[in-house]
Structure 1
Amino acid sequence: MATARIILDKRSKKQDGTFPVKIRVAHVKAFQRLGTSLSLTEAEFIKLMAGKNLKDEQKEDKRKLDALLLKANGIIDSLEPFDFHTFNTRFSQKGDRSDLIFLLNDKASDFEKDEKYGSRNLYNQAAAMLTEYINRNRTEKSGKITSLIISTVTPKWLTDFEKWALKVTYQKKSKGSKETTTELKYSRTTLGMYLIRVRAIFNEVISRKELSAAAYPFHKADNKAGYKIPQGVNNKRALSMPEIMSIYNYEPQNQTEFFAKDMFIFSYLASGINCIDMFRLRWLDLKKDHFTFIRKKTENKTGGTNKITISLTEDLLSIIERHGTRKLNNGYIFNVIPLNATEKEIKSKTAAAISAINQGLKKIAVKIGITEEISTYYARHSYSTNLMNNEAPLAFISKQLGHKDLKTTQNYLDSFTTDKAAEYQSNLLVKDQTG
């Protein structure tokens, strides 16, 4: 196994009588010396390594050397088999490439540069969640841990992390007494979203040969003992046809309800287009009897090949006529995204509009007797579920939803409505009704 240690390279003495301090990495019969920024006399080096009676400046030098040695040993521990090329690449990279927290935040920074703020947030939140876990039993006095060596994350570690994430016990004061309560901390869906990002980091570092494939902790075909990321419960968020029609026929009481209703119906009739894509629609996307768009969410994965075509029905044209903003001359059909907006501004304006629409939908739902707190997402799921219940081909539903494959659509459409299931069940036997 490779080893690393701090040495004083006495082969080349400088004019001031000091020698370069280096990290010596050895493997089998080969070794390399990696430079540091320090040069010391032999006496200074011996004193520094002993770590006793050091001045403030010497303490800082010792801290820097210890950090470099820790980094070197962390890389060595994660490389199996060891090779100098991969080691040197990782050792020279900024930050600790063996630190999972750093890698998650570093990936988030890459997404921010590309103005992909949704992905950035998920990686940052995953890092924050892991940081919270590794600091769960520490007090403020003992300091906060901000690093996690990637090679220490095993299937057992991930299983323990899941148990903590799904439940947390805390003390609650009530009239002078303390009550211990256990509550849900993160949903299985949220946990899964974050762990998918952790898995992506493992895939990247292993593909770059910065980590041994044997250290991969997640379940796969040739690693059945690996940790399985929890699947979120696919809560049914589809409205029945009578509920859809009650929204369609509702007479809005104010401008907020008016906009909320029309955006919901537009999404429902336009293949469940989500609001991000809906607000990005431009006048040039409109043709004589249809419009096309590409889902922003999957645009990079599909290379822009998953164009979705929507027929311009009378209802869709009416909504465009009511809310279209051609006079603003900013290119967008709906007045949500301003002219020349950056990706960050688009994200912010869209989020604000979605929040306002959801508030309006909740008020409408109460007035027409829909008990669920509906949101814009219900339009997409209602579209696909009602198509399925009308026995539309799965391939058509999949294409209109912008899914890459049928399996994604099958997971999305996890169940038929109770009425449709009962109808199918009733046809299992054909009995003679004539007596």
Structure 2
Amino acid sequence: MKQSIPTVSIVPDKRREKENESFPLKLRITYKGERKYYSTGHNASLDEWERLQTKNVRGKLKTLSNTLSEICVQAQKCCEGLPVFSFAAFEAAFFPKAVSNMSVQTAFDNYMKELRKNGQIGTAVSYNSDCVSLHRFKAGLKFRHLTVDFLKNYESWFLSQGNSITTVSIYVRALRAVMRIEDGIMDVKDYPFGKRKYVVPVGRNIKKALTLEEIARIYNYQAEEGSMDEMSRDYWIFIYLCNGLNMKDMCLLKYKDVEGNFIVYQRAKTMGTRRSHPEPITIALKADARRIIKKWGQKPIQPESYIFPCIEPGMSLEDQRLKIQLLIHLVNEHMKKIAGELGIGKPVTTYYARHSFATILKNSGVSTEFISEALGHSSLKTTKNYLAGFESDAIQKTTDVLLSFKENRLPK
């Protein structure tokens, strides 16, 4: 039986457009239908890439062409020299590295600097908390300390401090992201994450959606005119009606984002990411949402004005974050109070509005793909996590028929 032979090529990674409109050139290894991509350390624009495919390439592009050809030749020799090919074996042979003596603090500082530069202040704050936690567990932490046993011991210690498994998951994912950013810090065989190594724990998926009846109670809640209760109720309903957008995105909405019967906006979360062309989100602007804008929106109505009175022109990103966090806290506290008065036994927050939007649509037969797009998720997996509670309820309801004869309710 003929053994499969890996194929080697260089391709532009069009998912990662850089500021100068160039793309990273990746080494692509294909084996039995599976592909993996590796950095070559070189970039090229699409025009340069097309010229690299011709025979008459000259100058700097000729040098680059020769370099890329040499990488391909060496990679092909490496593949053919392996007794049994596997991606792990190829990586170990082709990218031998000693574990870096770089401090974890330095890597986090570099990454947080980029996050702040991209306006991702909240993410930078979260990563800083992660870094502080890691160094509380072990001062002077280096990448060479990051072993499977270290991560397991850190997880046990972190949980013993009264923290949740969900927070553990967030923190070790952040560490993993920093390790990926700091390319070349260790050999693949020393990398502590992955199958049969340290597996990032999965947090408990607590259902955060309300029923339509509970949402109706919130909608009809009688609050004092102009009170924080009334504003909190209206903001919550606005979020629920507007694709479950988060509070930051709501605060950043401008009147120019209102296009007829729709709101079209870009998620703040995706604007600073490496996605070259993140898709805008389109919201159907319902009459109730228009009413809330009319009641609580700023005047006069100008295209560049923020709709809601939270963000002010010229405010720094850090000040924006603090103002939004304060608003979230106030709305959540008032919503919990309202939920208590209405007999809703759940700690209702703005996050419940987002989950409720997704779950109510799913209950109505809307596809997961549509819900994912409406929420602005980059992956269906994230949306399915949102809907996990719904899936459990659906299974229970569907299988009730198995014992329907006990109540003389035989299916027709």
Q: What TM-score, normalized to structure 1? A: 0.67
Deviation of residue 403 (structure 1)? 0.9
Partner Cα separation in structure 2 for residue 392 and residue 434 of structure 1: 25
% same residue:
31
Q: Where does structure 1 lack aligned partners over 5 or more consecutive residues?
A: 1-79, 91-96, 135-144, 169-183
Alpha-carbon contact 2:241-2:289 (below 8 Å) kept: yes
Alignment correspondent of 1:161: 154
Give the structure 2 partner of residue 241 of structure 1: 212
Give, in angstroms, the shift of residue 304 of structure 1.
Answer: 4.5
- The 1:156/1:391 distance shift into structure 2, 3 A limit, reads same
Which stretch shows the higher mean deviation, 409-418 or 382-391? 409-418
User: Larger C-alpha radius of gyration, 1 or 2?
Assistant: 1
Which residue pairs with 2:78 in the alignment? none
Map residues 152-301 of structure 1 onto 2, 5 A cutoff: 152-168=145-161, 184=162, 186-205=163-182, 207=183, 209-219=184-194, 224-253=195-224, 255-299=227-271, 300-301=273-274
Contact 1:105/1:123, CA 8 A, preserved across alignment: no
**For residues 58-81 of structure 1, what are the alpha-carbon distances to aligned partners after superposition, in whole Å with 9 as ceiling and x for unaligned?**
xxxxxxxxxxxxxxxxxxxxxx84
For these two proteins, the number of residue pairs brought into alignment is 312
User: Does the 8 A contact of 2:265 with 2:281 survive in 1?
Assistant: yes
| 2:290 counterpart (314, 317, 341) | 317
Equivalent AA in structure 2 for residue 148 of structure 1: L
The equivalent of 2:127 in structure 1 is 123
For 1:323 and 1:395, the matched residues in 2 are separated by: 33
How far is 1:210 from its partner?
A: 3.4
Q: Give the aligned partner of residue 389 of structure 1.
A: 363
Q: Which has the higher contact order (CA 8 A, sep 6+)?
A: 2
Q: 2:399 maps to which residue?
A: 425
Deviation at 1:425, TM superposition (A): 1.5
Q: Secondary structure at the match of 1:284?
A: helix
Q: Which amino acid aligns with 1:210?
A: I
Helix, strand or coil: the match of 1:310? strand
Please give the alpha-carbon distance, in whole angstroms, between the structure 2 residues aligned to 1:359 and 1:434: 46
Q: CA RMSD in A?
A: 2.5
**In 2 relative to 1, CA 366–82 (structure 1 residues): closer, same or farther, beyond 3 Å?**
closer
Local SS of the residue matching 2:344:
coil
- Find the partner of 1:354 among 328, 331, 334: 328
**Deviation of 1:156 (Å):** 1.1
- What are the residue-to-residue correspondences of 1:38-117 with 2, within 5 Å? 81=96, 98-117=102-121
The C-alpha deviation readout for 1:117-151, integer Å capped at 9, x for no partner, is 112112211111111112xxxxxxxxxx3x11211
Cα distance in 2 between the residues matched to 1:129 and 1:394: 36
| Residue in structure 1 matched with residue 48 of structure 2 by the alignment | none
Deviations 1:294-352 (CA, angstroms, capped at 9, x unpaired) = 22123325444322111111111111110111327561111110122222222111111
The aligned residue for residue 149 of structure 1 is 142
Secondary structure of the corresponding residue to residue 385 of structure 2: helix
8 Å CA contact retained: 2:143, 2:185: no
Residues 11-50 of structure 1 mapped to structure 2, 5 A cutoff: none
Q: Secondary structure at the match of 1:250?
A: coil
Deviation at 1:419, TM superposition (A): 5.8
The reply to whether residue 343 of structure 1 matches residue 314 of structure 2 is: no
How far apart are the structure 1 equivalents of 2:146 and 2:216? 51
Give the superposition deviation at 1:164.
0.8
Cα displacement (A) at 1:378? 0.5
**Residue 380 of structure 2 aligns with which residue?**
406
- Letter in structure 1 aligned against 2:135: T
Q: Distance in 2 between matches of 1:414 and 1:277?
A: 25
Corresponding residue SS for 2:264: strand
**Larger mean Cα displacement after TM superposition, 390-399 or 413-422:** 413-422
Provide Cα deviations, 1:391-434, integer angstroms capped at 9, x if missing partner. 21111111111111222211221122776444311345898959
Q: 1:10 maps to which residue?
A: none
Whichever residue aligns with residue 300 of structure 2, its letter is K
1-side partners of 2:292 and 2:280: how far apart?
22
**Higher mean displacement: 154-163 or 299-308:** 299-308
Farther-moved stretch of structure 1 (328-337 vs 342-351): 328-337
In the alignment, the residues of structure 2 paired with residue 262 and residue 418 of structure 1 have an alpha-carbon distance, to the nearest angstrom, of: 30
Preserved contact between residue 218 and residue 226 of structure 1 (Cα < 8 Å): yes
Q: 1:370-389 to 2 correspondence within 5 Å?
A: 370-389=344-363
Partner SS state of residue 416, structure 1 = helix
Deviations 1:76-119 (A, max 9, x none): xxxx8469xxx9xx9xxxxxx61113322332233233332112
The one-letter amino acid of 2:343's match is: G
- AA at the equivalent of 2:251: F
For residues 133 and 225 of structure 1, the distance between their equivalents in structure 2, rounded to whole angstroms, comes to: 24
Q: After superposition, give the CA deviation of every residue in 1:343-398 in whole Å (9 maximum; x if it has no partner).
A: 22221111111111112112211211112221111100011111111221111111
